Chain A
Amino acid sequence: MELDDQQLVLACKQGNSDAFSLLVQRYQRRIFNLVYRMVQNYDEASEITQDAFLAAWQGLPAFRGDARFATWLYRIAYNCALRQLESRKRDTALHAALQAEAEHAYDVDDSQAITDKTLDAHERQEMVQEYLAHLPSKYRSVLILRHHLEMSYEEMAEILKMPVGTIKTHLFRARNLLKERLQGLYRDVSTETRG
Chain B
Amino acid sequence: MRCTTAGKQLQLYSDGQLPLDAVRSLELHLAGCASCREELRMLEMVARDLDAPALIVEPENLHAQIMQRIAQVAEMQPAQKSFSPWRPSLVELLAAVLLATVATLGSILQQPTLRALLPIANGHDSLSLAFMRLVHMLTSMDSSTLALLLWISGTLLGVCITLACAGTEMRAQWFKAMMDRLPVR
* Residues of A69-103 whose CB lies within 8 A of B: 76, 79, 83
* Residues of B3-38 whose CB lies within 8 A of A: 8, 11-12, 15, 17, 38
Q: Whole-angstrom distance from the CB of B61 to the nearest CB of chain A?
A: 9
B1 contacts chain A at the CB level, 8 A cutoff? no
B46 contacts chain A at the CB level, 8 A cutoff? yes
B184 contacts chain A at the CB level, 8 A cutoff? no
Q: Which residues of B contact A58 (CB under 8 A)?
A: 73, 168
* Residues of B55-93 whose CB lies within 8 A of A: 55-59, 62-63, 65-67, 69-71, 73-74
B51 contacts chain A at the CB level, 8 A cutoff? yes
Q: How many residues of A contact B (CB 8 A)?
A: 47
Dominant SS at the B interface? Answer: helix
Q: How many residues of B contact A (CB 8 A)?
A: 37
Q: Which residues of B contact A63 (CB under 8 A)?
A: 167
Q: How far is the CA of A50 from the CA of B46 in the complex (A)?
A: 32
* Residues of B74-129 whose CB lies within 8 A of A: 74
Q: Among the listed A30, A125, A168, which residue makes an inter-chain contact with B49, where contact means beta carbons less than 8 Å apart?
A: A125
Q: Which residues of A contact B8 (CB under 8 A)?
A: 172
B169 contacts chain A at the CB level, 8 A cutoff? yes
If A25-B63, A79-B169 touch, whether A128 touches B58 (CB-CB below 8 Å) is no
Q: How far is the CA of A33 from the CA of B69 in the complex (A)?
A: 20
Dominant SS at the A interface? Answer: helix
Query: Which of B58, B65, B73, B168 gathers most chain A CB within 10 Å?
Result: B58
Q: Among the listed B45, B55, B62, B65, which residue makes an inter-chain contact with A186, where contact means beta carbons less than 8 Å apart?
A: B45
B42 contacts chain A at the CB level, 8 A cutoff? yes
Q: Which residues of B contact A20 (CB under 8 A)?
A: 67, 70
Q: Whole-angstrom distance from the CB of A91 to the nearest CB of chain B?
A: 12
- Known contacts A28-B63, A124-B49, A190-B42; can you find 5 more A-B pairs with CB under 8 A? A46-B58, A54-B66, A54-B73, A143-B50, A148-B51
